[in-house]
Amino acid sequence: MNVLVIGGSGSLINNLIIKLNKEGHRVYLLTGSRYTQEPYQKVFERYNFTYDSSCLNEIFESVTPDLTIYLGAFDSNFRWGDEEAASVKYSACLMNILMGYAMRGHGRFLYLSSEAVYGRHYPENVGEEEATSPVGLRGMVLAQAEQMCESYRQTRGLDIIILRLDHLYSIPRKRREVTDLCTGMCLQALEKKVITAREGVTFSMLYETDAIEFIYRAAACREHRQSLYNVSSSQALTEVELAGIVKDAMGEDVGIRTEQSETGPMRLVLSNLLFDGEFGNPFFCDIGNIVKKIADQMKKNSYAFLTSEETRPTLRQRLLKASGWLLRAMIPFLENLAAFVPFFMLNNRAVGSAYFANLDFYLLYVLLFAVVYGQQQATFSAVLAVAGYCFRQMYDRSGFEVMLDANTYVWIAQLFILGLVVGYMRDQIKKLRDESLEEKEFLSQQLGDIQDINSSNVRVKDALETQIVNQNDSVGKIYSITSALDQYSPEEVLFYAADVLGRLVKSRDVAIYTVSNRSYARLFSSTSKKARMLGNSIRFTEMGEMYETLSSHKVFINRKLDERYPLMSNAIYNDSNEMQMILMIWGIPWESMTLGQANQLVVISALIQNAVLKANRYLAALENQRYVGDTQMLETSAFTSLLNAYLTAQNKGLTECTVLQVDVDSALYGEAGKQLAAKLRQTDYMGTLSDGGLYALLSNTSREDARFVIKRFTEAGYDCHIVEDYAA
């Protein structure tokens, strides 16, 4: 299925991508940032867009995801150092993501939350029914985010699942990845050689690998009963106990300092019972082993953890940064003051001049700054001009006379009116120009985003076209290969089915067992010695997990790599729901043991079953012509065809067989056939050949094992011997 993963770079999202790729899903990635960050794992298509981008709807429309996973509380795009800014941004971005998903209205949405939505003491493990009680702004925002997801689920009828991951921890690579309590204690031990632990604080931890398995189970399930699940190991652990584990892992020179918790006893352990009851409980990684790996990683790369990635700026740099805005704001005023001096001097020289007496330099000065800087600087320059005018007038008159002169006020009025009007017009023109530039930039950005999405869609289309044409495991290719079974005779179909299965799953070790009764299965054909390692006969009802999986009509995948079982197996049932055949695959790469490969095996099994069913119906229709009378002896042509099929398959390494010739008079063939048929297995045959002799064909039997059959024939009064060379 198509999976859209949303989140910033980090080990959690990378491991999640690896898991989804391994299971055969097509993964798309929305990074939430336009800029290059830490590397991600390889995905089918990557979108470098922010969460508030207007193209988010187009991305959902292009991907059409069957599953959307948002990292939520573990999204590295949000830095919670400044909680107020991060909380506003987080809520807005989640709203935009949910809106894009809701408008598409398709597939499942998985949101990852954390234990931070709880913040008080709980004597018992916390279940999903417990109301949230966040402490701190981050916990409150995450609780509101859960409510937002639940509101969308109820009002829009969407398939939304919320997973609360309990105290998630992982193996860090850099100092900034030290975000949980466990890695924080390791860093304390590395830096200070002392670990600080609070008494009375109890919690549980969930390792990242276990969390990935939990997330995938919830993501891949067909149906789910609840919309909210707590995901936790539910293994209670105190800070003092964890400090002891870290101390043992970091070395003997590390000490532990305990202190009382400021809030008193604090126990927060999420209950995993609801999730466990519905999806099953995977194997949990041992905390001690993981802490040992974290300690080894941090000690081996101590420079990356002991050296801060961000260099603290100097005092001079901090002062320049703080005063930078003030200097930028003062530049126009300083320019205004500097320009006032020459205009003041020009005005003084023009007073007694015959040519420039009527020229008002102050008015030119005000208009100049109104045009260049706008209304604000026009006002400031007008004030300076009035001060200069009054100062010049007081050369000849007193200040009181200047204040009483009506011409002074008329001149001031025209100066301010012209300056403010021109400044206002300049500000409005600049505002319109800026708005036009912003709109142009916005439209250009939208055009660029659409072009990026279109280019991405073209790449996806080309990749899918190539995949459809060239894919080795496409339905068309599978059918074309399995249809080749129709070219073989009915007796040969099952032999070459093993070869066809090996070619399709790219394995050299394939075996096909036929069920002889409700408990045992006999090896019919195989492609290698390794594929025959279980033997010629198996009691499949005693094969534990493999039998339980096959009996529930599912494909068995040996994820634990148990040497007793094949790596992958599937059973074929008849119309009466009885097991007919078991297909076993031994040699298959680990990366191919995926859900996609299992689905492919189901398709191949169905096509093989059709070919076998067609062959069986043909043989059943000719049953009266194939046997001699009411005996189990095949007539000459039928036995010859069957023997040739076995010998040809044996020469190709697909099976093993032995031919016995019974020394008996031809007149007694009927009686001998009835008696000896009871000494054979259901998968063995008797019949006559063109030389007139009576023969027995022992399938999947070596010459050494044939001695037991010879002994039974001899005890019944019939001598026989192995035919060493028979020309098929």
Residue 148 has what pLDDT?
A: 92
Q: Which two tokens stand for residue 164?
A: 């609360």
Could you tell me which residues are beta bridge partners of residue 196?
257
| Between 673 and 334, residue with greater pLDDT | 334
pLDDT tens profile 347-359? 777 766 656 666 7
- pLDDT(661) > 50: yes
* CB 219, CB 110: distance < 8 Å: yes
Q: Which residues contact 52 (CB under 8 A, 6 or more apart)?
A: 92, 93, 96
Across 421-425, average pLDDT: 89
- pLDDT(625) > 60: no
Q: Which two tokens stand for residue 93?
A: 């971005």
CA dihedral sign of residues 219, 223, 227, 228:
negative
- pLDDT(588) > 90: no
pLDDT tens profile 153-201? 999 889 999 999 999 988 888 888 888 888 888 888 888 888 888 888 8
- pLDDT(59) > 60: yes
CA angle 12-16-22, nearest 5°? 150
Confidence of residue 721 (pLDDT cuts 50, 70, 90): confident
- What average pLDDT does the structure give for the chain? 81
- pLDDT(624) > 60: no
Residue 464 has what pLDDT?
A: 63
Residue 728 has what pLDDT?
A: 43
Across 5-9, average pLDDT: 90
3-state secondary structure of 106: coil
Among residues 384, 370, 451, 632, which one has the least CA distance to residue 55? 451
Residue 634 has what pLDDT?
A: 79
CA–CA gap between residue 127 and residue 70 (Å, rounded): 23
CA–CA gap between residue 338 and residue 604 (Å, rounded): 88
- For 545, other C-beta atoms within 10 Å of its C-beta total 13
pTM (two decimals): 0.54
What single string gives the DSSP state of each residue in 459-519? HHHHHHHHHHHH-TTSHHHHHHHHGGGGGS-TTTHHHHHHHHHHHHHT-S-EEEEEE-SSS
CA torsion angle 480 483 488 493 (round to 10): 120
Across 138-144, average pLDDT: 92
| Between 725 and 44, residue with greater pLDDT | 44
- Containing 28, the helix (H) or strand (E) segment is strand 26-32
Across 373-393, average pLDDT: 83
CA–CA gap between residue 106 and residue 83 (Å, rounded): 33
Ranges 60-69, 200-209, 229-238, 246-255: which has the least confidence: 246-255
Confidence of residue 720 (pLDDT cuts 50, 70, 90): confident
Where do runs of H (alpha helix) occur along 351-405? 361-373, 375-393, 399-404
Residue 516 has what pLDDT?
A: 75
Residue 486 has what pLDDT?
A: 59
Among residues 640, 726, 641, 628, which one has the least CA distance to residue 677? 628
pLDDT tens profile 442-471? 777 777 767 766 776 676 666 666 655 545
Confidence of residue 365 (pLDDT cuts 50, 70, 90): confident
- pLDDT(310) > 50: no
3-state secondary structure of 678: coil
* CB 660, CB 706: distance < 8 Å: yes
Among residues 337, 389, 338, which one has the least CA distance to residue 362? 389
Please give the domain boundaries of the chain with CATH numbers for all domains.
Answer: 331-441 (no CATH), 476-621 (3.30.450.40), 624-722 (3.30.70.270)
What single string gives the DSSP state of each residue in 422-455? HHHHHHHHHHHHHHHHHHHHHHHHHHHHHHHHHH
pLDDT tens profile 26-37? 899 998 887 756
pLDDT tens profile 489-501? 555 676 777 877 8
Among residues 2, 152, 156, which one has the least CA distance to residue 64? 2
Residue 622 has what pLDDT?
A: 46
Task: Name the residue type at position 209.
Answer: T
| Between 286 and 167, residue with greater pLDDT | 167
Phi, psi of 597 (to 5 degrees): -65, -35
3-state secondary structure of 214: helix
The radius of gyration of the chain from alpha carbons, rounded to an integer in Å, stands at 42
Confidence of residue 71 (pLDDT cuts 50, 70, 90): very high
Where do runs of H (alpha helix) occur along 516-580? 545-551
Could you tell me which residues are beta bridge partners of residue 24?
none
Residue 364 has what pLDDT?
A: 85
In the chain, the percentage of residues whose pLDDT exceeds 90 is 11
Residue 140 has what pLDDT?
A: 92
- pLDDT(68) > 90: yes
